[in-house]
Structure 1
Amino acid sequence: MTSHPVAVADPDRAKILLQALSSVSSRIATVAGQDQSKPHLPRLVAVSKLKPASDIQILYEYAGHRHFGENYVQELVDKAGHLPRDIQWHFIGSLQSNKCATLASIPNLFAVETVDAVKKARKLNEARNEDWQKLNVFIQVNTSGEESKSGAAPGEDTVDVARYIMNECPRLNLLGLMTIGSIARSNAAAGGEQNEDFTTLLETKHLVESELGIKELELSMGMSQDFEDAIRQGSTNVRVGSVIFGARPPRTTTA
């Protein structure tokens, strides 16, 4: 895979993006600063799905941002092939078994955040080049129980996937747990309540750590509408798209 220069968009677009990224970063720092127990700021993954590579190049070149998230495999492959090789990509879309090998072949893929089954972990591990750094993975947990959402069930199902990754996948690194919570729970939390999805993910993290004798798993939770609430409840990795890049166009290509 070779990297080719991507032209930066017009100055007006650059100004908009840089201001938006700066605003989100400031909000993260403000919220995280309220908890003195957090030694580091949560990681900001700028979700660039369906946005042009030139938008990413702006934030890379002028803001020094490195962590970007994509939902569609082919879009991630295309962008990774044209953008700088030190970008740290996160795959955050629904993970299909037949796409695992393609994802694992991206050298600068930092993390796959949507592993929800042993089979998918096995396929990622088998396809990852053993000479490369371990591929970070998050286990996606279906904290809301919605049939429309992917994810391992909280509790022993998640523990089983975690145990398999740790014991049987030497080319993977279990970085943490991830959830895409329900909109209703996010809206309720905006009114001052604790977000039940975030509470469930935190409890599942504690269970996995206890069962497997590990500690300091990360939590990937929180998106554009609720990342501040997620940080207050322990998130170490937030996935923010529209607040940075603006509304997305309709999708017209396949993953």
Structure 2
Amino acid sequence: MVADNLKRLKDEIAETASRFNRNPDEINLLAVTKLADVDMIRRAYDSGHRDFGENYVQKIIPKMKILPADINWHFIGHIQKNKINKIIGKFALIHSVDSQHIAEAMEFRASNNDIVQDILIEVDSSGEIQKNGIPIDESNELVHFITENCPHLNLLGLMTVAPFTDDRKVIASCFEKVRNLRDGLEIDGLKLPHLSMGMTNDWKIAIE
């Protein structure tokens, strides 16, 4: 069941990518585990999947200890300063850095651990009060703060969560804003290969 669902979704991703002249190999499916038990994650792993995302540190740390070591864990939840010591060095990629003070705290911890942590900046592309992420118009400042002052944080791109709406134009506009932000930063000389966008209800729009 898990393997069949993953295969069906990956086939859909490949078909959607082809329709929009995208290379399917450049699109990575992140399986979010917050409702999955260890057995379900292991079945996904046994089918060949390696990238898993989690919102809550306290839920995933026990699972990490008993699941295969070559899983690429991604932290996608809101970062609390008092939990930073539990996520630095534990995740292949942290998607949700959204402020200078969080970046500073992560840099301090990564430096103490003598590691370089791969990260993304979470951008609030919709302007909704309840959304996490740094506002679009403040993003450049945070990008440059990290690249100039945080040698133990390796910035690889941007992440955003679109509003939960049936309005396709609103969702597409949010994704386009973040892509344009990334493209502008790359013109300035930064290399930001990752855009983390799209969930169950809007991933096809993200691929477009």
TM-score (norm 2): 0.92
Q: Of residues 180, 183, 197 in structure 2, which corresponds to 1:221?
A: 197
Q: Of residues 170, 175, 194 in structure 2, which corresponds to 1:198?
A: 175
The AA in structure 2 aligned to 1:203 is N
1:160 counterpart residue number:
141
1:146 counterpart residue number:
128
- Tell me the matched-pair count: 206
Q: Does 1:30 align with 2:39?
A: no
* Cα displacement (A) at 1:35: 3.9
Q: Of residues 76, 79, 101 in structure 2, which corresponds to 1:119?
A: 101
The AA in structure 2 aligned to 1:214 is L
Distance 2:130 2:81 in 1: 18
CA deviation string 1:61-113 (max 9, x = no partner): 2x11110000101112121112111110011111111111110042xx11111
The AA in structure 2 aligned to 1:197 is C
2:60 counterpart residue number:
76
* Cα displacement (A) at 1:39: 7.3
CA deviation string 1:209-244 (max 9, x = no partner): 234x22343211100011111111xxxxxxxxxxxx
Distance 1:36 1:216 in 2: 21
1:104 counterpart residue number:
88
Q: Does 1:181 align with 2:157?
A: no
TM-score (norm 1): 0.76
Distance 1:39 1:70 in 2: 23
1:247 counterpart residue number:
none
User: Which of 1 and 2 has higher RCO (CA within 8 Å, sep 6+)?
Assistant: 1
Distance 2:4 2:142 in 1: 40
Distance 1:97 1:193 in 2: 32
1:86 counterpart residue number:
70
* Cα displacement (A) at 1:34: 2.7
Question: What is the Cα-based RMSD across aligned positions, in Å?
Answer: 1.8
The AA in structure 1 aligned to 2:162 is G
Which ranges of structure 1 fall in alignment gaps of 5 or more residues?
1-15, 233-255
The AA in structure 2 aligned to 1:110 is A
Identity %: 33
Distance 1:194 1:53 in 2: 33
The AA in structure 2 aligned to 1:117 is S
